[in-house]
Structure 1
Amino acid sequence: MEKYSRGQRIGVITKKLIENPNKVIGLNYFTERLNAAKSTTSEDIVIIKDTFKALNLGKVETVAGASGGVKYVCSVTDEMREEFVSNLCNILREKERVIIGDFLYMTDILYDPDIISKAGHILASIFIDKDIDYVVTVETKGIPLAYEVAKMLGVKLVIVRRDNKVTEGTTVSINYVSGSSKRIQSMSLSKKSLNKKSNCLFIDDFMKAGGTAKGIDDLIKEFDCNLVGIGVLIDNVESSEKIVDNYISLIKYYGIDDNGMAILEPSIT
C-alpha cells in the first residue's frame, strides 16, 4: 500500500476535520486511510493543532477513551468577530438598501455564501459549549444562517413550517402571537423531527419583538425538548419590549435616520 508524506497526511487530516466540525473521528480512520502508525498520526495531529492555534483557525481537540479520537471545534477571536460585524454594518448602511416602507433590504446578504458562513461560524462559536442536539429555525429566510450554524456545531437542522405539509406526516401545530403585530399565527413540526429531551438552539435572521422565538419555545416543549439558546443576525431594538430574553444578536438595528440610512451597530464587541 502506498506511503504518504507528512505534508500529504496533514492535508488529508485537516480536510477531514474541517469538513466534519465538532464530530469525533477515530484515529483508526486516519491510520487505515493513510497507511500510517498511530504514533505517526498522533504527531501529525499535534502539528495541525499547534498550527490552528497559532493562526486562530479554531481548536483541534483529542478525545480519550475507546471511542475517542480527534475533532475540530470552531472558535473566533474577538478581533475577527468585530471586523466581520463592523464590515457587515457598513454594507447594510448603504442608502440603496432602504426600500419603500422604510424596510431594509437584506435578501442578498442572507444568501451570500461568504457572508452567511462567517456569521454562522461566529454564532456557532458562541453556543459551542451548550451541548446542543438540534438547530431549529422557521422557514424561509433564516434557513441559510441556521444551516451554517448547524454545520459548525455538527448537529442536524430542523425547519419549522408555517403550515402543514402532507409530506411531513403527523405534525404538531401551535398558535402563537406575533410580538410586533400581535396577530395570531401558526407553526407546525413533524413528530419525527425531534427526539425527546433534546437541547435545541433557535437561529433566525431578524428579531423584532421575539414572538417567533417564543412560539418556537412553546412548540419544542410539546416534544419534551429544551430551548437552550437563541441567536439572531439582527435585533430590531426599536421593538424595546421583547417577549424573550437571553438571546444573542450580532447587529442592533435602530431604524432609518432622517437621511434615509439604516442605523446599525455591532451587538457584540
Structure 2
Amino acid sequence: MKKLKRSGRLVDMTYYLIQHPHQLVSLSYFSERYQSAKSSISEDLTIVKEIFESQGFGSLLTIAGASGGVKYVPAVSIDEGTELVESLCTKLEDKERLLPGGYLYMMDILGNPHLMNNIGRLFASVYADQNIDTVMTVAMKGIPLAYSIGSYLDVPVSIVRRDHRVTEGSMVSINYVSGSAKRIQTMSLARRSLQEGANVLIVDDFMKAGGTSRGMMDLLTEFKANVMGIGVLVEAEDVEERLVDDYISIARLEKVNEKEKQVQAVPGNFLKKLKEVDG
C-alpha cells in the first residue's frame, strides 16, 4: 500500500478494524501497512477509539506487551438499540403478516440483509464478553441471523439439521420434544462442526415453548459443550410452560388475533440486558 496522509490512514484503519471485529491487530501490522512510525499509529488509534466510543460504535481495546495490539469490539448504544428494536416491532405488527392458524410470515425480515446485519450487531453487543467459540442454530430460517452474529463475534456457525446429509460425515443425533406440537422429533449435528468443550451461543428465529432451543441444549451435552446463552429474534405471546428460562429476545408478540387481523409486538428483554452491559 502506498504511503497515506493521516486522513487516509484514519479512513483505511477504521474500515479495516470494522471488517475484522474481535481480531487482535498489532501496531507493527499497521506500521508496515501505512509505512508510518508506531508513535503515529498510536495517535491514529487514539482518535479512532474516541470516535468509536463517543458514537456508540463499540470499543477499541489495547493489549500491552510484545504480542499485544488493538482489538475492535462492536457495540450498540442504548438509543440505537431502542430504535432498531422498535423498528422491528413495527414491522411485525403489519396485519398482512398473518397466516392461517395464527402464524406470522417472517421471511421478508429474515431475508433482509441490512436488517439481519443490524440485529446481529445487537446480539454481538451483549455477548461480546462471553468468549463465544461458535454460534449454533437449526436450519433453515435461523441461518441468516446466526451468520450475522457470527460475523460480528468473529466465530464460525454450526448448523443443526433435522435430516442426515452424507456430505457432512458422521452425525450426532438426539430426539427432542417439540414444545408447541408436543411431537417427538430428531435433530442432528455433524461431529466435525463443533469442538468438544466449545462455548456456544444458541440462536433461534422464533420461540414459542422453547422446545427447539431445549433440544439444542441437550444436543450440546453430547459434545460436552457449554451453553453461553440463547438469543431469540421473536418470542411468542404468553406460553403456559417454557422449556428454557434464560434467553434474550429482541421482540415479543403480546397479541395475535387472526379473526380481528391484529398483531401487537413489544420489545423483548434485550434492551434491559443492553442497559446492564452498557452500565
- The verdict on a shared fold, with TM-score over 0.5 as the criterion, is yes
Tell me, in whole angstroms, the C-alpha distance in 2 between the residues paired with 1:27 and 1:55: 24
Q: Give the AA of the match of 1:262.
A: V
When structure 1 is superposed on structure 2, of 24-33 and 135-144 the one drifting more is 24-33
Q: CA deviation at 1:43?
A: 0.7
**Structure 1: distance between partners of 2:217 and 2:45:** 40
Provide the C-alpha distance between the structure 2 equivalents of 1:246 and 1:105, rounded to a whole number of angstroms.
26
Matches within 5 A, 1:168-183: 168-183=168-183
- Residue 66 of structure 1 deviates from its aligned partner by 2.5
Task: State which drifts further: 257-266 or 91-100.
Answer: 257-266
Could you tell me how far 1:52 is from its partner in structure 2? 1.1
1:101 aligned counterpart, secondary structure: coil
SS at match of 2:66: coil
Partner of 1:21: 21
Q: CA deviation at 1:41?
A: 0.7
Q: Counterpart in 1 of 2:128?
A: 128
Asked if the contact 1:180/1:239 (under 8 Å) is kept, the reply is no
Letter aligned with residue 224 of structure 2 = D
What is the deviation of 1:134? 0.6
Over residues 110-166 of structure 1, what are the superposed CA-to-partner deviations in whole Å (9 max), with x where a residue is unaligned? 010111111111111111111111111110000111111111111111111111100
Deviates more, 1:159-168 or 1:258-267: 258-267
Tell me: CA distance 1:151–1:2, structure 2 relative to 1, closer, same or farther (3 Å). closer
- 2:50 alignment partner, SS class: helix
How far is the alpha carbon of 1:5 from its aligned partner? 0.3
| Equivalent residue, structure 2, for 1:137 | 137
Match of 1:266 in 2: 267
Partner of 1:230: 230
Q: Aligned equivalents of 2:245 and 2:79: distance in 1?
A: 26
Q: Does 1:38 align with 2:38?
A: yes
Q: Deviations over 1:83-107 (max 9, x none)?
A: 1111111111111111222211111
The Cα of 1:239 is off from its aligned counterpart by 2.1
Runs of 4+ aligned residues of structure 1 deviating over 3 Å after TM superposition are: none
1:250 corresponds to: 250
TM-score, normalising length: structure 2: 0.93
Shift of 1:216: 0.7
- Aligned equivalents of 1:62 and 1:18: distance in 2? 15
Measured after TM superposition, the shift of residue 22 of structure 1 is 1.2
Check conservation: 1:21, 1:73, Cα contact below 8 A. Answer: yes
Equivalent position SS for 2:193: coil
**Gaps (5+ residues) in structure 2?**
272-279
Q: Which amino acid aligns with 1:74?
A: P
- 1:221 & 1:147 partners in 2: Cα distance? 23
Counterpart amino acid of residue 266 in structure 2: E
Moved more, 72-81 or 41-50: 72-81
Partner of 1:85: 85
CA distance, structure 1, for counterparts of residue 72 and residue 84 of structure 2: 22
Letter in 2 for 1:105: Y
Gaps of 5+ in 1: none
Deviations 1:176-221 (A, max 9, x none): 1111111011111111111111110001110011111111111111
1:53, distance to aligned residue in structure 2 (A)? 1.4
Q: Normalised by the size of structure 1, how large is the TM-score?
A: 0.96
- Bigger mean CA deviation after superposition, 65-74 or 176-185: 65-74
Note the aligned Cα RMSD (angstroms).
Answer: 1.3
Distance, in Å, in 2 between the alignment partners of 1:255 and 1:54 is 38
Deviation of residue 64 (structure 1)?
A: 1.6
* TM-superposition CA deviations, 1:224-268 (whole Å, max 9, x none): 111110000101133231001110001111342363121210013
Kindly indicate whether the alpha-carbon contact (under 8 Å) linking 2:57 and 2:77 is maintained by their aligned counterparts in 1. Answer: no
What pairs with 1:21-170 in structure 2 (closer than 5 Å)? 21-170=21-170
Q: Once the 2 structures are TM-superposed, how far is the Cα of residue 17 of structure 1 from its aligned partner?
A: 0.6
Amino acid at match of 1:166: V
Residue 218 of structure 2: aligned partner: 218
Q: Is the 8 A contact 1:104 1:262 kept in 2?
A: no
Matched residue count: 269
Note if contact 2:229-2:247 (Cα within 8 Å) is conserved in structure 1. yes
Q: For 1:27-80, what per-residue CA distance to the aligned partner results, in whole angstroms no more than 9, with x for missing partners?
A: 221111111111111111001001111211111111122221111111111211
Contact 2:56/2:77 (8 A) holds in 1: yes
